[in-house]
């Protein structure tokens, strides 16, 4: 899985408008055919029309992320923000197909997108199965 930080996240950090320790972050699954644009997908409203609809164990708006950790890597010159695993249980039908998941800050009015996890192709979770994203991450270089 490839992770891409949004361009907006750098601005929000520089202007002290985002607080990884105290803000509420959510992760939303996107519909097949969605292509993430780190420059123009600034807010949840820019991507919400391409999010999976509620049903079969998925709720539009995404899941709330918990357990944030911020790690600094001076050797490779990046900072990583990770959260605990997040899961959806498919019930009544499959979840997906989905090419990836967007992480956004639900605390702010405009709900800025902070990053996107590209699954490398559409993924579908069959009815009764559990779709898990292990340690969702946004890496800022």
The confidence score (pLDDT) of residue 87 equals 97
Q: How confident is the model at residue 4 (pLDDT cuts 50, 70, 90)?
A: confident
Cβ neighbors of 132 (< 8 A, separation 6 or more) are 85, 86, 87
- 87-105 tens-digit pLDDT: 999 999 999 999 999 999 9
- Global confidence as pTM: 0.95
Give CA 125 to chain center in angstroms: 17
pLDDT in tens, 16-71: 999 999 999 999 999 999 999 999 999 999 999 999 999 999 999 999 999 999 99
Note the pLDDT of residue 57.
97
């Amino acid at each position: 899985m490839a992770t891409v930080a949004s361009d907006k996240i750098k601005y929000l950090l520089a202007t002290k408008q985002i607080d990884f320790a105290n803000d509420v972050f959510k992760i939303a699954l996107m519909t097949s055919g969605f292509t993430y644009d780190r420059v123009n997908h600034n807010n949840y409203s820019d991507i919400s029309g391409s999010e999976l609809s509620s049903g079969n164990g998925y709720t539009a708006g995404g899941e709330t992320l918990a357990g944030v950790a911020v790690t600094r890597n001076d050797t490779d010159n990046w900072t990583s923000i990770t959260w605990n695993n997040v899961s959806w249980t498919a019930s009544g039908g499959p979840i997906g197909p989905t090419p990836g998941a967007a992480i956004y800050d639900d605390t702010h009015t405009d709900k800025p997108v902070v990053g996107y996890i590209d699954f490398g192709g559409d993924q579908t979770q069959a009815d009764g199965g559990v779709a898990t994203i292990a340690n969702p991450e946004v890496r800022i270089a």
